[in-house]
């Protein structure tokens, strides 16, 4: 199949296809010709050509209303875009799903007296549910992830009303290539109360069944009930639970000294998770983030009631608005084991790393902070919370302290 030679155009087309935007109403021009070529060459799409932009926008509005489907509008750069505004404002107040795809010139040419060039970014800000700017550049791994993430988020918001993609395109505009890459990636968003709907439960269950599961716990308050449910889930599924110290979740089934374990990890494929369940706030360990970001085909399920969408590990596939304790409560009877002893392999690393601590500490013996903290830990009971209050500084770890 032929398509535009511009990666950014292919990404927009692939994302529309993946998110079910099938009808495209075009107002032809020069700058949006790469989009016209790419959409028209793909038989998945129904393309309609209406030269007058105001009429095209109201036609798209009517299709969205009559057929209850998302419809895209695509025009060239400049004042042509402004003619969409009456229909967009109506779609905004009637919650009709219009996707505005506006072609634009590169940023360097804005306000430089070039024909059909205006300030297009955020032009519909008051009457759309989101805007995203895409540039005609090589899609590096980070740029591809960023563009996929943001377009997927906005295409999800399309169900509430219009959203706007502005695509800055460089010349030449008419070159075509044989399509070889798929740039589409969809993030599924599920809203839930304390109980997952059956269809949502089944979707998540299918992603977990028979997989190597890892649970990542970021910053949160201590929660004994969540700890118990997580430990039960780990026993039933063989999941590895990485609970950073700031998660305040402790259990013998969890790995709390995350950095220590990652010093031991090898390149063995058996250590790579297939699905990650991410809960809590900030993740401190850079090793964890780098490790997970480099795994291909990883699926991440994010549990969060926050409106902020965090794709910390660059593989977010499902975002569920639910309290973590409610999620794991509903999966208390779920039992599934991967083909390898995933938990056993990671726990073995944890034990080996722990056993090496005295040897490493002995090699550091002397006046330094690492050895001092090692000595302090010998006298602190397990699970003790250490705080620094009133500028109190330990001078003797056995029998005295001096307060300034």
User: Could you report the per-residue pLDDT of 307-336, keeping only the tens digit for each?
Assistant: 889 999 999 999 999 999 999 999 999 998
Q: Give the residue range(s) of CATH 3.40.50.970 domains in the chain.
A: 2-178
Instruction: Return the C-alpha torsion angle 290, 295, 301, 302, nearest 10.
Output: 10
Reply yes or no on whether the pLDDT at 147 is more than 60: yes
SS (H, E, C) 15-34: HHHHCCCCEEEECCCCCCHH
Residue count of the chain: 404
Q: Are 272 and 299 in contact (CB under 8 A)?
A: no
Compute CA distances 301 → 114, 187, 276, whole Å.
46, 10, 6
Reply yes or no on whether the pLDDT at 85 is more than 50: yes
Show the tokens assigned to 355.
Answer: 């056993």
* Neighbour-count burial of 36, counting CB atoms closer than 10 A to its CB (0-12 exposed, 13-18 middle, 19+ buried): buried
Q: Which range, of 35-39, 175-179, 358-362, averages the lowest pLDDT?
A: 358-362
Mean per-residue pLDDT, 176-204: 93
Nearest-angstrom CA–CA distance, 325 and 108: 50
Q: Tell me the average pLDDT of the chain.
A: 91
Nearest-angstrom CA–CA distance, 94 and 87: 10
Q: Is it true that the peptide bond before 172 is cis, omega within 30 degrees of 0?
A: yes
Question: How does DSSP classify residue 247?
Answer: G
Task: Note the pLDDT tens digit of each residue in 287-311.
Answer: 999 999 999 999 999 999 998 899 9
**2-178 has which CATH code?**
3.40.50.970
CA 162 to chain centre: 22
pLDDT of residue 356: 74
Q: Are strands 2-4 and 176-178 parallel, antiparallel or unpaired?
A: antiparallel
Nearest-angstrom CA–CA distance, 375 and 392: 18
Q: Are 203 and 188 in contact (CB under 8 A)?
A: yes
HSE-up (13 A, CA, CB side) for residue 288:
24
Q: Give the residue range(s) of CATH 3.40.50.1220 domains in the chain.
A: 188-345
The dihedral sign for the CA sequence 338, 341, 345, 351? positive
pLDDT of residue 294: 94
Mean per-residue pLDDT, 98-108: 96
CB under 8 Å to 202, separation ≥6 — which residues?
none
Which class would CATH give 188-345? alpha beta
């Amino acid at each position: 199949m032929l398509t535009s030679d511009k990666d950014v155009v292919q990404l927009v087309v692939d994302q529309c296809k993946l998110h079910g935007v099938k009808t495209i109403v075009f107002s032809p021009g020069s700058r949006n010709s790469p989009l016209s070529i790419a959409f028209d060459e793909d038989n998945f799409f129904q393309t309609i050509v209406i030269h007058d932009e105001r009429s095209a926008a109201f036609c798209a509005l009517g299709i969205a209303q009559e057929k209850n489907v998302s419809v895209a509008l695509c025009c060239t750069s400049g004042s042509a875009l402004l003619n969409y505004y009456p229909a967009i404002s109506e779609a905004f107040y009637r919650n009709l799903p219009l996707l505005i795809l506006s072609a634009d010139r590169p940023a360097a040419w804005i306000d430089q007296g070039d024909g059909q060039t205006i300030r297009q970014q955020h032009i519909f800000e008051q009457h759309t549910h989101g805007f995203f700017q895409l540039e005609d550049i090589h899609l590096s791994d980070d740029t591809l992830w960023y563009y996929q993430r943001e377009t997927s988020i906005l295409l999800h918001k399309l169900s509430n009303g219009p959203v706007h993609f502005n695509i800055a395109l460089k010349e030449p505009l008419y070159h075509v290539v044989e399509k070889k890459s798929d740039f589409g990636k969809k993030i599924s968003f599920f809203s839930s109360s304390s109980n997952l709907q059956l269809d949502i439960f089944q979707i998540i269950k299918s992603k977990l069944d028979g997989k190597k599961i890892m649970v990542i716990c970021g910053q949160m308050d201590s929660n004994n009930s969540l700890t118990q449910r997580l430990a039960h889930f780990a026993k039933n599924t063989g999941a590895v639970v990485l609970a950073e110290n700031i998660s305040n979740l402790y259990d013998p089934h969890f790995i709390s000294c995350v950095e220590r374990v990652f010093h031991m990890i090898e390149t063995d494929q058996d250590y790579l998770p297939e699905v990650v369940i991410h809960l809590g706030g900030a993740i401190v360990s850079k090793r964890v983030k780098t490790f997970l970001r480099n795994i291909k085909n990883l699926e991440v399920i994010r549990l969060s009631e926050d409106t902020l969408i965090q794709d910390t590990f660059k593989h977010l596939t499902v975002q569920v608005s639910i309290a973590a304790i409610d999620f794991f409560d509903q999966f208390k009877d779920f039992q599934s084991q991967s083909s390898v002893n995933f938990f056993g392999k990671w726990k073995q690393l944890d034990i080996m790393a722990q056993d090496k601590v005295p040897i490493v500490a002995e090699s550091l013996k002397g006046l330094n902070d690492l050895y001092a903290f090692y000595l302090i830990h010998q006298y602190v009971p397990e699970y003790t919370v250490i705080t620094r209050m009133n500028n109190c500084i330990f001078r003797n770890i056995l029998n005295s302290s001096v307060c300034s």
